């Protein structure tokens, strides 16, 4: 619906066509231009109504999206470059000896600290989303958050040049700034995507968020390769500097192009925008969002083991020598992200075909399938643990195969979830509810780090089987709720209004 009708080259961020049906046009075009265009469009339709029926809106392909989607996705690419590059090094940095540039913490202390940091980074977006909805607006949330992340990585870089307590103080201050910045930026940048679509554009919106998530994972690949590898090879401070430079590039790009490709509307608090936006509430929306976020936390507990227990497993027990060199442990984290980038376009095409046939699975069926993909992936990690149980090294193929199933889970979880929340949430609470969704991801992230030391106590195989049991029980409960609670089924309908 975004591109039907007449030309609207005068409107920032939407230079294709104008339509009275388009939410973006209605929000930007408050003057006589939109009224005249609407009148002309109505006249054309009335003239042709007796001769032909109005054609239904064409399906939007994955790549044919508003230009603002590409800008926001590129901005998020650099933010995730910074974040995932830093987190790929975090446990290793905290647990490295002081002469090696680390803090000299124990393995368990480093895992607990990672859990606290990751949980806070995903929990603060609830507060940040509320602040952006209420006062700042999404544009200022992106800029303020980006500056906080940049300052945090700069502090971590500076920590490499000092010793003693000052190193710890600078490192903790840097992590706090990254958490603060992430709390503002994540809900704001995620909500910007949804603001580029009308409420009826459910399939196009999901495609837009698929591109957005591809930007996220491409950024995580770049960050892990450059920042993580720099940190391991040259010293941790250089990895943190690479993360700071990445965030600076993202901010410069966004500030240079946001007015032209997104417009100035998102500079207003969302509550003010909602006052002029007509959007009915979806029956059962809050219950559906609560259900999605709860099971997303379960997913995150299993998924984010890869930055803790699984990364340490790769470092200590995986055969990483190949082609005359040792592959950095952090590099294995890119397997699931590369898999997502490759699988996402294919998954979107399949989803579009199923939608055209009236057989598109709803959000809860996709979520159950995503949980099942992780459950299958853990069979490969169990195989790896068994192979290295005698003190030897296991094949890296176990890790690669397991992470590829993580890729399948990501495709089924992340784009559909955030797209659905942005579509069915009340207009004046989009940022807040996206932030609440991130909170549950943060809870899962924290629990992943908090539970991590159990792998040493009960053994890796028993630990991985316990995670599989959690995933299996969650799948059963989710499907039972989906079939027995009518409000969930109504909200899950892709065409629900």
Q: Crossing angle of helices 202-223/396-424, nearest 10°?
A: 140
**Distance of alpha carbon 494 from alpha carbon 497, whole angstroms:** 9
Percent of the chain with pLDDT over 70: 81
pLDDT in tens, 1-13: 443 333 444 334 4
**Distance of alpha carbon 332 from alpha carbon 38, whole angstroms:** 54
**Distance of alpha carbon 441 from alpha carbon 303, whole angstroms:** 10
**Confidence label for 490 from pLDDT (cuts 50, 70 and 90):** confident
Q: What is the DSSP letter of 164?
A: T
**Distance of alpha carbon 364 from alpha carbon 478, whole angstroms:** 7
**CA torsion, points 69, 70, 72, 77, in degrees to nearest 10?**
140
pLDDT in tens, 231-272: 888 889 999 999 999 999 999 999 999 988 887 656 666 555
**Confidence label for 230 from pLDDT (cuts 50, 70 and 90):** confident
Query: Strand runs (DSSP E) across 217-359, as ranges?
Result: 321-322, 325-326
Computed over every residue of the chain, the mean pLDDT equals: 82
**Confidence label for 179 from pLDDT (cuts 50, 70 and 90):** very high
Q: Looking at residue 33, what is its pLDDT?
A: 42
Give the pLDDT mean for 35-53: 40
Q: Looking at residue 24, what is its pLDDT?
A: 47
Give the pTM. Answer: 0.74
Q: Which residues contact 477 (CB under 8 A, 6 or more apart)?
A: none
The most confident of the ranges 91-95, 401-405, 412-416, 480-484 is 401-405
**Distance of alpha carbon 375 from alpha carbon 51, whole angstroms:** 56
**Confidence label for 77 from pLDDT (cuts 50, 70 and 90):** very high
Q: What is the DSSP letter of 393?
A: -
**Distance of alpha carbon 470 from alpha carbon 371, whole angstroms:** 10
| Pairing verdict, β 321-322 and 325-326 | antiparallel
**Distance of alpha carbon 8 from alpha carbon 33, whole angstroms:** 9
**Distance of alpha carbon 150 from alpha carbon 403, whole angstroms:** 30
Nearest to 452 by CA among 171, 176, 116, 223: 116
Please report the domains of the chain, with CATH numbers, ordered by start residue. Answer: 1-58 (no CATH), 67-492 (1.20.1250.20)
Q: What are phi and psi of 360, to 5 degrees?
A: -70, 125
**Distance of alpha carbon 210 from alpha carbon 411, whole angstroms:** 8
pLDDT in tens, 196-206: 887 666 678 88
Length of the chain as a residue count: 497
**Confidence label for 163 from pLDDT (cuts 50, 70 and 90):** confident
**Distance of alpha carbon 134 from alpha carbon 111, whole angstroms:** 35
The answer to whether the beta carbons of residues 205 and 422 sit under 8 Å apart is: yes
The answer to whether the beta carbons of residues 258 and 94 sit under 8 Å apart is: no
Count of helices and strands (H, E) across the chain? 20, 2
The answer to whether the beta carbons of residues 306 and 333 sit under 8 Å apart is: yes
The answer to whether the beta carbons of residues 80 and 70 sit under 8 Å apart is: no
Q: What are phi and psi of 9, to 5 degrees?
A: -65, -15
Higher per-residue confidence, 178 vs 287: 178
Q: Looking at residue 201, what is its pLDDT?
A: 67
Nearest to 361 by CA among 277, 482, 476: 482
In the predicted structure, residue 386 carries a pLDDT above the cut 50? yes
**Confidence label for 340 from pLDDT (cuts 50, 70 and 90):** very high
């Amino acid at each position: 619906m975004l591109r039907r009708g007449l030309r609207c080259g005068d409107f920032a961020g939407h230079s294709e066509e104008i339509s009275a049906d388009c939410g973006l046009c209605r929000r930007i075009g408050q003057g006589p231009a939109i009224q005249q265009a609407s009148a002309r469009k109505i006249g054309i339709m009335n003239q042709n109504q007796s001769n032909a029926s109005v054609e239904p809106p064409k399906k939007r392909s994955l790549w044919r999206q508003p230009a603002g989607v590409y800008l926001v996705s590129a901005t998020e690419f650099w933010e995730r470059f910074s974040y995932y590059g830093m987190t790929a090094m975090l446990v290793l940095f905290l647990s490295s000896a002081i002469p090696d540039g680390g803090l000299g913490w124990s393995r368990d202390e480093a895992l607990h600290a990672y859990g606290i940091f990751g949980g806070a980074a995903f929990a603060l977006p609830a507060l940040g989303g509320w602040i952006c909805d209420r006062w700042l607006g999404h544009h200022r949330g992106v800029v303020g958050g980006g500056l906080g992340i940049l300052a945090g990585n700069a502090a971590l870089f500076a920590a490499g040049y000092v010793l003693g307590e000052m190193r710890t103080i600078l490192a903790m201050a840097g992590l706090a700034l990254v958490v603060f910045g992430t709390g503002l930026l994540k809900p704001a940048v995620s909500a910007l995507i949804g603001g580029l679509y009308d409420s009826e554009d459910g399939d196009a919106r999901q495609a837009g968020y698929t591109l957005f998530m591809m930007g996220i994972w491409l950024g995580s690949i770049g960050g892990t390769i450059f920042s993580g590898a720099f940190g391991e090879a040259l010293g941790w401070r250089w990895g943190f500097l690479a993360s700071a430079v990445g965030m600076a590039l993202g901010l410069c790009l966004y500030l240079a192009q946001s007015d032209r490709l997104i417009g100035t509307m998102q500079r207003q608090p969302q509550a003010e925008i909602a006052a002029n936006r007509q959007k009915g509430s979806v029956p059962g929306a809050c219950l559906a969002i609560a259900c999605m976020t709860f099971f997303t936390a379960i997913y995150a507990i299993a998924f984010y083991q890869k930055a803790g227990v699984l990364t340490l497993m790769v470092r200590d027990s995986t055969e990483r020598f190949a082609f005359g060199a040792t592959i950095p442990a952090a590099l294995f984290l890119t397997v699931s992200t590369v898999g997502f980038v490759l699988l996402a376009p294919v998954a979107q095409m399949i989803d579009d075909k199923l939608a055209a046939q009236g057989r598109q699975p709803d959000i809860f069926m996709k979520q159950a399938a995503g949980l099942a993909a992780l459950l299958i992936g853990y069979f490969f990690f169990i195989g790896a643990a068994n192979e290295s149980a005698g003190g030897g090294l296991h094949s890296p193929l176990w890790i690669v195969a397991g992470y590829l199933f993580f890729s399948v889970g990501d495709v089924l979880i992340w784009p559909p979830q955030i797209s659905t929340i942005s579509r069915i949430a009340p207009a004046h609470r989009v940022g807040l509810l996206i932030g609440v969704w991130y909170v549950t991801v943060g809870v899962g992230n924290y629990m992943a780090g908090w539970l991590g030391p159990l792998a040493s106590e009960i053994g890796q195989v028993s630990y991985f089987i316990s995670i599989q049991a959690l995933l299996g029980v969650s799948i059963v409960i989710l499907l039972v709720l989906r079939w027995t609670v009518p409000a969930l089924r109504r909200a899950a309908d892709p065409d629900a209004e």
